[in-house]
Chain A
Amino acid sequence: MSETYDFLFKFLVIGSAGAGKSCILHQFIESKFKQDSSHTIGVEFGSKVVSVGGKSVKLQIWDTAGQERFRSVTRSYYRGAAGALLVYDITSRETYNALTNWLTDARTLASPNIVIILVGNKKDLEAEREVTFMEASRFAQENELMFLETSALTGENVEETFLKCARQILTKIESGELDPERMGSGIQYGDASLRRLQRQQQTTKRPDCGC
């Protein structure tokens, strides 16, 4: 009965309170908008198997509380995350301004190789927009982030966000930039046979590696 997958990626959803992190996750997993959503306590968890580049990847997503008081609780989940969704609310400049702090946190607490995608949520509220696409796009470029604007309400770009992030990680694995075997990479092999195969390759390549 257990799901079969090639990789398991540990994902993180971070960003200021009220940016819509839980709603994005809910939309991604349940394919529907969560109406009466309230602040997340601590962390919540969700997982989904997606197909990326011909590989099935299980995403293990930790949805963190955005509220400041949960910072100490949530920080332990940063460790070993392979990818992160850095979410802000396009209708709230405050959440946009906090991005730098979040980014620093992510880069320091998680692995430095973490793949981060900047997500401007609440795209559907165009009338109340406070952060332009261009501005955020520039910020993303400067910080070497991927960028997408989403709407957890309509579901627009929600799945793409996760897929894009996963695809990037997969590319990095293939290029050797990321090593799934390394501790705290946030990546695990799903299939035992695949792992064995990989291990054999590794041992032939690097006989001194004793794992």
Chain B
Amino acid sequence: MELRIEAVSHDYGETQVLRDISFSVAPGEIVCIIGPSGCGKSTLLRFIGGLERPDHGQVLIAGEPPADSLNPLTYIFQDFALLPWRTVEGNVSLVLEDHGIRGAQSRAIIADVLARTKLTDFARAWPRQLSGGMKQRVAIARALAVRPAVMLMDEPLSALDSQTRELLLDDLIDLWKRERFSAAYVTHNLAEAVRLGHRIMVLSRRPGRIRELVSIDIPLDERPDRIVELDKVQRRLWEAMRDEARAADMELSDAD
């Protein structure tokens, strides 16, 4: 299954948010969307997942999602979005219940995804008892439970401290090596983008346009050892972003 975003433009009232965004997410590909704050990258992700409608342009799905996928487009949120009144396993169970998966089948899926995210021992813990990194792992487990075709990640590591972020970044890379999921990954962190992205899309400040679309050919698992090359890419992206970020910083914000 492939995602195609075609000529998406959007305004919130008077504020122009996005202008003429077109790109695609191929199967097994991680596309990082990066840009200064307020450039509309989270809005773009909401269009991709069908949570909002763009004024112009469209988001298209090419090909059928895998037959066993319960929720082909699945989000991972910055604030984790766990229900505080459900335990870890309850939060995973939540997204299965509506598909009529209960009892033994549900327990098997929950046990499997918790094992894959190293959360087996915490199945009965409440979200308030977990650290930020653990909460995000629960959210990842919940996403895995519905076997997504495309993961839509909205700054998933931004609410975490830098050490936890490193750990979870490694986890995500491991996960990708095993599952080969495709993803649209919104972030404002260049280092994350060059570690995780097969392609990196730099948006300009509001109204967001594509400033650059960079492919990184280094395989994900070789990247930690090829820091010098990555650093070059990161620098180039920063050159493209710096002026936009500076200008965006001086703007008064009223939308989002």
Q: Is A bound to B?
A: no
